[in-house]
C-alpha cells in the first residue's frame, strides 16, 4: 500500500479528524503532512482527539430545568399574534367570497343583440 492509501485508511478510522476539516479548523493537506512525518503515532494525534460523548438520557430533573427556562408569557404573545393573523386571513377570504356572492344575483340572461345602451 502507498503512503496516500495508508493515510486515507487512517482518516477513515478517525472521524474526529474529518470534523476538523468540515469546520475548516484544519486542512486535509495539513493532516497529511503530519501523517507523512509522524505516521499513526498516538502522541502526534493527541491534540486533535476529541472525545465523542454519548448524549445522556433525559431525566425528570432535566425536564424540570427545561420547563423553568420557558417563558410562558412570550409563548402566549406568539400564540395571540398567530391567532390574529389567522383571523385576518379568514376575514379576507370570507369577505372575498361574500362580495362575489352578493354581486351575482340570480341566473344571468344573455342580452339581446339588437338592444344597445339601454335603448
Q: What is the pTM of this model?
A: 0.41
Q: Are residues 9 and 36 in the same domain?
A: yes
- Residue 19: the pLDDT is 84
State how far the alpha carbon of 77 is from the alpha carbons of 1, 57, 83, 91, 101, in Å: 64, 32, 10, 21, 36
Is residue 58 assigned to a domain?
no
Q: Nearest to residue 19, comparing CAs of 56, 52, 54, 55?
A: 52
What is the rounded CA–CA span in Å between residue 4 and residue 36?
Answer: 9
Tens digits of per-residue pLDDT, 107-117?
667 766 666 66
Is residue 116 assigned to a domain?
no
What is the rounded CA–CA span in Å between residue 45 and residue 16?
Answer: 11
Is residue 57 assigned to a domain?
no
State how far the alpha carbon of 76 is from the alpha carbons of 63, 90, 109, in Å: 20, 21, 54
Is residue 115 assigned to a domain?
no
Is residue 95 assigned to a domain?
yes
Question: Percentage of residues in the chain with pLDDT exceeding 70?
Answer: 74
Is residue 61 assigned to a domain?
no
Q: Are residues 71 and 44 in the same domain?
A: no
Is residue 87 assigned to a domain?
yes
The range of the structural domain enclosing residue 36 comes to 3-48
Number of domains in the chain: 2
Mean pLDDT of 44-73: 76
Is residue 41 assigned to a domain?
yes
Q: Are residues 13 and 40 in the same domain?
A: yes
- Residue 99: the pLDDT is 54
Tens digits of per-residue pLDDT, 22-47?
888 888 888 888 888 888 888 888 88
pLDDT band at 53 (very low <50, low <70, confident <90, very high): very low
Amino acid at each position: 500500500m502507498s503512503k496516500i492509501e495508508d493515510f486515507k485508511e487512517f482518516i477513515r478510522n478517525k472521524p474526529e479528524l474529518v470534523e476538523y476539516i468540515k469546520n475548516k479548523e484544519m486542512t486535509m493537506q495539513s493532516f497529511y503532512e503530519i501523517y507523512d512525518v509522524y505516521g499513526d503515532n498516538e502522541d502526534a494525534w493527541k491534540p486533535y482527539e476529541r472525545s465523542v460523548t454519548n448524549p445522556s438520557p433525559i431525566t425528570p430533573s432535566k425536564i424540570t430545568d427545561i420547563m423553568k427556562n420557558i417563558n410562558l408569557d412570550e409563548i402566549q404573545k406568539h400564540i395571540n399574534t398567530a391567532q390574529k393573523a389567522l383571523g385576518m386571513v379568514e376575514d379576507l377570504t370570507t369577505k372575498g367570497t361574500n362580495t362575489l356572492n352578493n354581486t351575482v344575483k340570480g341566473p344571468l340572461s344573455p342580452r339581446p343583440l339588437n338592444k344597445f345602451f339601454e335603448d
